[in-house]
């Protein structure tokens, strides 16, 4: 599925290039001295929350352990608990910032399951609105992302108390 958001195309290309060079864009975001550039929304001692640079919808978040592991079984109980708690709080964050009607939450484990990054396990959290599957994807296989990632980040940061 193609995505149509031409005004921010340059940033998108830059980010894609960074991703390819570095290997793991989640670790890059964790280690970054400028987390906004990597669209980091929040960080706890065990978990990071960032915007997906290839969103299915506005507000599409990735929630990942700080540890670079490919599988949930490689995480300790503290990591797993914090991941679940941070996921729960992230849902509240999106409710507060975007008022969605529902959510899709899922993980792609392994390339065959559709993981773009299969070496660092992460949860996709996608807000959904009534009618958001509109005619565009059906007739043209193109999805319109109505908000720039930087605007989404700014909006989410106004509701960060939901993550504390
Ligand atoms: Zn990683």
Residue ranges and CATH numbers for the domains of the chain are: 2-163 (3.30.428.10)
Between the CA of 122 and the centroid of ligand 1 the distance, in Å, is 10
User: Ligand 1 centroid vs 68 CA: distance in angstroms?
Assistant: 4
Question: For ligand 1, a single-atom ion, which residues have Cβ within 5 Å?
Answer: 24, 26-27, 68, 120
pLDDT > 90? residue 100? yes
Q: Is 120 a catalytic residue?
A: no
pLDDT of 33 over the 80 cut: yes
Q: What is the tens place of the pLDDT at every residue in 49-88?
A: 999 988 888 899 999 999 999 999 999 999 999 999 999 9
Helix (H) or strand (E) holding 52: none
Which regions of 44-89 does DSSP assign to beta strands (E)?
47-51, 61-65
Q: How far is the CA of 21 from the centre of ligand 1 (A)?
A: 13
Which residue spans within 15-148 are E strands per DSSP? 40-43, 47-51, 61-65, 102-106, 123-128, 142-144
Whole-number pLDDT of residue 19 = 47
Residue 66 is classified by DSSP as S
Å from CA of 61 to ligand 1 middle: 16
Give the global pTM. 0.80
Distance CA(147)–CA(156), nearest Å, equals: 12
Most confident region among 2-11, 20-29, 67-76 by mean pLDDT: 67-76
Please say if the pLDDT value at position 136 is more than 90: no
Residue 112 CA to its chain's centroid (Å): 20
Q: Single out the catalytic residue among 46, 120, 122, 124.
A: 122
Task: Determine the Cα angle at 159 with ends 158 and 160, to 5°.
Answer: 100
Q: How far apart are CA 107 and CA 122, in angstroms?
A: 6
Give the dihedral of Cα atoms 16, 45, 99, 117; nearest 10 deg: 30
Distance of CA 143 from the midpoint of ligand 1 (Å): 28
Integer-rounded Cα radius of gyration of the chain = 15
d(CA 131, CA 89) in angstroms, rounded, equals 25
Per cent of the chain over pLDDT 70 is 78
What average pLDDT does range 8-27 have in this prediction? 60
């Amino acid at each position: 599925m193609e995505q149509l958001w031409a005004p921010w195309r340059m940033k998108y290309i830059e980010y894609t290039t960074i991703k390819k060079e570095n290997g793991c864009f989640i670790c890059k975001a964790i280690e970054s001295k400028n987390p906004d550039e990597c669209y980091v929304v929040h960080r706890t001692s065990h978990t990071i929350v960032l915007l997906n640079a290839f969103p299915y919808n506005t507000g599409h978040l990735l929630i990942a352990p700080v540890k670079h592991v490919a599988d949930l079984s490689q995480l300790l109980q503290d990591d797993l608990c914090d991941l679940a708690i941070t996921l729960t709080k992230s849902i509240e964050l999106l409710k507060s910032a975007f008022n969605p009607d529902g959510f899709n939450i899922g993980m792609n484990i392994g390339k065959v399951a559709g993981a773009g990054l299969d070496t660092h396990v992460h949860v996709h959290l996608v807000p959904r609105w009534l009618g958001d599957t509109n005619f565009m994807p059906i007739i043209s296989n193109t999805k319109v992302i109505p908000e720039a990632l930087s605007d989404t980040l700014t909006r989410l940061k106004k509701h960060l108390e939901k993550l504390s």
